[in-house]
């Protein structure tokens, strides 16, 4: 008699799989999170069966994470509320004030535009506009990334000595073959960023992705955010885009400084 082995799936493993599928489904909304997208397209992007996607969307809808509009789904208000909890006090005001400048930068470069702030030794993305030639990127609104391997992170570290000291006391994790993991090399590069006012990321956070970033000042000497533009390595010249980014960053800094003076009366 042959032995029949029955594979038993633990509830914890099944739960993890369901959560991972739900997260993949949410990430599949991309830039259409507010406009809506059909279940078939979401299933295709998330590499799920249509029935699985439909079932997960039903659970997410009941919990307010997604909303159904006609035959399409969009991200729900509860997800936006959770995202706002990631931001420190004041970050939402900075994002709203700089939105016109982010749009200007997109129009000038047609690249993917980011706005980020420092949270500990990581950057948190406050806003993102997808470019015409997007590259797979770890960035998402409300998401975080290590500061040492991103252009926005290097800019923010250049103006926050305490955060830089903490980064230099930690192990610099390698994300791609180009990631800087040598503390002395990172410190030297941050020094150049402080002197030049611009930072570059050449496939350090993700393969095939190049990025350039500048600081945004809320008051003289006080950096409150970093603004960047990125595109596919080899087809997006970050150094050629630096001039446009500098101009927009300077205008954004002037606006934030003016708003700060007005709020102080």
Distance CA 112, CA 131 (A): 4
At 87-132, the pLDDT tens digits run 455 667 788 888 889 888 888 888 889 999 998 889 988 888 887 7
**What are the domain boundaries of the chain?**
11-82, 87-263
Band of residue 177 on the pLDDT scale cut at 50, 70, 90:
very high
Domains 11-82 and 87-263 share a fold: no
At 48-93, the pLDDT tens digits run 999 999 999 988 888 888 888 888 998 887 765 555 544 455 667 7
> How is residue 114 written in tokens?
């980011």
Q: Report yes or no: 113 and 162 within 8 Å, Cβ to Cβ.
A: no
What does the chain come to in residues? 265
CATH node for 87-263: 3.30.450.40
The predicted structure's pLDDT at residue 262: 65
> How is residue 110 written in tokens?
């047609």
CATH node for 11-82: 1.10.10.10
CB burial of residue 168 (10 Å; 0-12, 13-18, 19+) = middle
Stretch 191-219: mean pLDDT, rounded? 93
pTM: 0.67
CA 170, 175, 177, 179 dihedral sign is negative
């Amino acid at each position: 008699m042959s032995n029949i082995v029955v594979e038993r799936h633990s509830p914890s493993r099944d739960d993890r799989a369901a959560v991972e599928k739900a997260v993949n489904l949410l990430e599949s909304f991309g830039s259409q999170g507010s406009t809506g997208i059909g279940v078939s397209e979401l299933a295709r992007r998330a590499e799920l069966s249509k029935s699985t996607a439909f079932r997960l969307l039903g659970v997410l809808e009941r919990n307010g994470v997604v909303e159904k509009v006609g035959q399409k789904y969009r991200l729900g208000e509860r997800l936006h509320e959770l995202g706002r909890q990631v931001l420190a006090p004041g970050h939402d005001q900075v994002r709203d004030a700089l939105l016109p400048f982010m749009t200007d930068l997109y129009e000038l470069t047609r690249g993917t535009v980011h706005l980020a702030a420092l949270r500990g030794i990581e950057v948190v993305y406050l806003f993102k506009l997808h470019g015409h030639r997007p590259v797979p990127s770890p960035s998402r609104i409300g998401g975080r990334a290590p500061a040492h391997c991103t252009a926005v992170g290097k800019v923010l570290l250049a103006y926050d000595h305490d955060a830089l000291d903490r980064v230099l006391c930690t192990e610099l994790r390698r994300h791609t073959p180009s990631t800087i993991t040598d503390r002395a090399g990172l410190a030297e590069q941050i020094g150049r960023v402080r002197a030049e006012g611009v930072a570059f990321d050449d496939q350090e956070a993700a393969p095939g992705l190049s990025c350039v970033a500048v600081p945004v000042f809320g008051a003289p000497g006080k950096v409150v955010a970093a603004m960047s533009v990125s595109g596919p390595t080899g087809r997006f010249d970050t150094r050629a885009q630096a001039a446009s980014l500098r101009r927009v960053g300077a205008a954004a800094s002037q606006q934030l400084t003016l708003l700060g003076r007005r709020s102080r009366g």
